[in-house]
Structure 1
């Protein structure tokens, strides 16, 4: 490997965090979404975390929601019991690597030229290792935070949290007693704001997410005799209508604040009519912002017929739906209008959008912690176009924030590393994450 595994200047916290991240990457806790093929990787990772916490004296709740799906929760008492607890959480599962061209072993946790490679390097064993190291350091060094800290390590986030955060919220809610806020993915990474300045995006809201199936029926027959009642043609029209439609721009509070900060820094007056073009000037961050501006419906799977010369009786399409906070009802109406009355719409599990206070004191604490490391850096709220375990914790009245601090080179797209081949992160970014997160948790 091209560099030392652990930089010689690393503090004990930083070195231990890197060690834990690498060890967790080496545990193949791949979540296929199928109980028959998942194995016990999540349980292995959870056992590793449990043992590391118990070693320094934590009382740990180790919970297997179903065999092989391990979850770990431990609490560190704060100095002010009257304040709501902060849940600091990470998931221990990762997406599969099949069909991807990796140049580094996906579970090797190799370091080359100061960069750590492996599945989970940013999604999200990096934060699991960091908060495990911080939990141990606080306990070992007698550090008492201002409020209770609940360290949680979940299974199954990559398949919706059914056997992880969702299961614990439904079956073991007492583990989160008194908690009012949560801190986890997806945010905290730096993006270029202006020459020499970085913005650190804090996810204060998340789009709602659902999956829907479109289904239509027609008159079956021989392919040589076309029919006006062809299910495939009818479905294709509906799918095309969805693919061509652009939902209107919606400026949520988080989006509005982000556009204000970037507009002032770049000298851009964002106009809803030209905003897609204007966002291109921001580089890769423009794509992330653009995905948060409006509702989206993406056709992903089509199914119809089994033989070329047979007109099928039915056709179906699957949609990925992402909905801006407050748009649940209007989105359903818009989708029905788009596909027409002769298409059946079946909506599966719907995880509502969540939105926390973008001006909460926790954001001030985070801002001060960033300023200690990056005096010109600014923390900016944003709307996450994806979904995290914070949605499940929200059912307990816990306000979720996405902030895993990573200072990275200006051209490094952290969000672009999620689920990709050769997933990687600079080792120095992990050290930054450990320092900043520890500072946040001390004073949150």
Structure 2
């Protein structure tokens, strides 16, 4: 069976592992068996663990040269979000390789990295090389929903599989980000995730007095809810500079030759230019209204109105955010959690970050490696609960003008062939030296 990273990525894409949420998923078992077969061909034993029928996870341990060193966990998810084939240029599960790209749902989120991992460990095995330390591999289900059948289930029911792991790497970091310096030079940034915001998904419920739509009603639940949502949406959330964000601003500013003023974040973001999108969503908390439910007939004022809001929380700020939410929505609106997960923060200045930086520069000597904070969330939240420092590092070379961030969950998702091969070489370097 092939171990070329491009072929592996294309084959993984061809498994329709669509996750519709609420337990409705497909194809994870077949994709897991494929990963286990590739590992077996490389002489690596693995275990397939099902959290529910066909909700499969693969875990393996690759022995290293120095068993005294704490293991590194490499984890990635096999499920993908739905795709409407009528919107795509190619079928979303074709895995076609054309025009220098592998096309299909999951090509960048995140079957590319799963393929990179399989290719890297297979390459080491084929040449008789071993990683410096033990490597624990986890290919999991259900990340595109709540992780209840994947990472969170594994860490709750099989924590012993990850005993001793000091750090983990996974999606959303280590890719090329092209920016222009103040003097016109082109710079290749490689953001490595050292933090990610926590999740506070909330249901807001306004209660009032039901009545006829033609009559005055000072206890209209819809009005109370809309007033609360407007207050949340219009609120100017204060700047909170976490260690990761502050380090990103200072190091990126230095590379670009622009002035960084930590007391004037909006001005600083303007000066960062093309680099600003990497940080602009993580200098503050956010609470975004997303779902509204109220009423059943145009001439009836309902007694209850509900909304759902997507809260994202920087490390160490949840209590402050919730207190501010309560003040903004007022006494007539109740809140409760729909989903809650804490923020993740790993050390910025650490041997792990240095090793990732060295691995990137082994293939791109001009790489400018900077820490950054993910605005959303990943399965790192599950593994971090075990005391593992989690980093976003899925190395990938990207050509200038390629909108990688728009690919995830987007139409015509695709990943560059040369980017995959770059990533496999970087990961090999990391395994041998970290």
TM over 0.5: yes
Aligned residue for 2:191? 201
Q: Secondary structure at the match of 1:232?
A: helix
Q: Secondary structure at the match of 1:65?
A: strand
Structure 1 runs (4+) greater than 4 angstroms displaced: 280-284
- Of the three residues 30, 38, 52, the one matched with 2:25 is 38
Aligned residue for 2:352? 362
1:177 aligns with 2:167: no
1:50-101 deviation digits (Å, cap 9, x = unpaired): 1221223222111011011110011011121121100011100001113872
Give yes or no for contact 1:207–1:325 (8 Å, CA) kept in 2.
yes
Q: Measured at CA, do residues 240 and 100 of structure 1 come closer, stay the same or move farther in structure 2, by a change above 3 Å?
A: farther
Aligned Cα root-mean-square deviation (Å): 1.8
Give yes or no for contact 1:135–1:151 (8 Å, CA) kept in 2.
no
- Of the three residues 359, 375, 379, the one matched with 1:385 is 375
Aligned residue for 1:22? 10
Give yes or no for contact 1:249–1:272 (8 Å, CA) kept in 2.
no
Aligned residue for 1:5? none
- Of the three residues 320, 330, 351, the one matched with 2:341 is 351
Give me the whole-angstrom Cα distance separating, in 2, the residues matched to 1:368 and 1:202: 12
Aligned residue for 2:124? 138
In the alignment of these two chains, the number of paired residues is 430
Q: Secondary structure at the match of 1:93?
A: coil
> How far does residue 124 in structure 1 lie from its aligned partner after superposition?
0.1
TM-score (norm 2): 0.95
Give me the whole-angstrom Cα distance separating, in 1, the residues matched to 2:13 and 2:174: 21
Q: How does 1:309-388 map to 2 (within 5 A)?
A: 309-388=299-378
Q: How does 1:2-17 map to 2 (within 5 A)?
A: 16-17=4-5
1:5-61 deviation digits (Å, cap 9, x = unpaired): xxxxxxx99x611111100101000011132x323x111100111122122322211
Q: How does 1:26-425 map to 2 (within 5 A)?
A: 26-35=14-23, 37-39=24-26, 41-98=27-84, 101-193=87-179, 194=181, 195-271=185-261, 274-276=264-266, 278-280=268-270, 282-283=272-273, 285-425=275-415
Give me the whole-angstrom Cα distance separating, in 2, the residues matched to 1:387 and 1:99: 27
Give yes or no for contact 2:253–2:272 (8 Å, CA) kept in 1.
no
Give yes or no for contact 1:100–1:421 (8 Å, CA) kept in 2.
no
TM-score (norm 1): 0.93
Give yes or no for contact 2:22–2:145 (8 Å, CA) kept in 1.
no
1:360-419 deviation digits (Å, cap 9, x = unpaired): 111111111211211111110011111111111111111100011112123223222211
Q: Measured at CA, do residues 337 and 271 of structure 1 come closer, stay the same or move farther in structure 2, by a change above 3 Å?
A: farther
Q: Secondary structure at the match of 1:163?
A: coil
1:440 aligns with 2:416: no
Q: Secondary structure at the match of 2:137?
A: strand
Structure 1 residues 259-268 or 144-153, which shifts more? 259-268
Give yes or no for contact 1:199–1:380 (8 Å, CA) kept in 2.
yes
Give me the whole-angstrom Cα distance separating, in 2, the residues matched to 1:423 and 1:98: 12
Give me the whole-angstrom Cα distance separating, in 2, the residues matched to 1:31 and 1:347: 23
Give me the whole-angstrom Cα distance separating, in 2, the residues matched to 1:130 and 1:334: 43
Give me the whole-angstrom Cα distance separating, in 2, the residues matched to 1:429 and 1:280: 30
Give me the whole-angstrom Cα distance separating, in 2, the residues matched to 1:429 and 1:32: 29
Q: Secondary structure at the match of 1:287?
A: helix
Give yes or no for contact 2:192–2:370 (8 Å, CA) kept in 1.
yes
Give yes or no for contact 2:199–2:313 (8 Å, CA) kept in 1.
yes
1:341-368 deviation digits (Å, cap 9, x = unpaired): 2210111231101111111111111111
Give yes or no for contact 1:25–1:107 (8 Å, CA) kept in 2.
yes
Give me the whole-angstrom Cα distance separating, in 2, the residues matched to 1:277 and 1:234: 36
Give me the whole-angstrom Cα distance separating, in 1, the residues matched to 2:210 and 2:86: 39
Give me the whole-angstrom Cα distance separating, in 2, the residues matched to 1:135 and 1:226: 70
Give me the whole-angstrom Cα distance separating, in 2, the residues matched to 1:228 and 1:136: 69
> How far does residue 268 in structure 1 lie from its aligned partner after superposition?
2.6
Q: Secondary structure at the match of 1:233?
A: helix
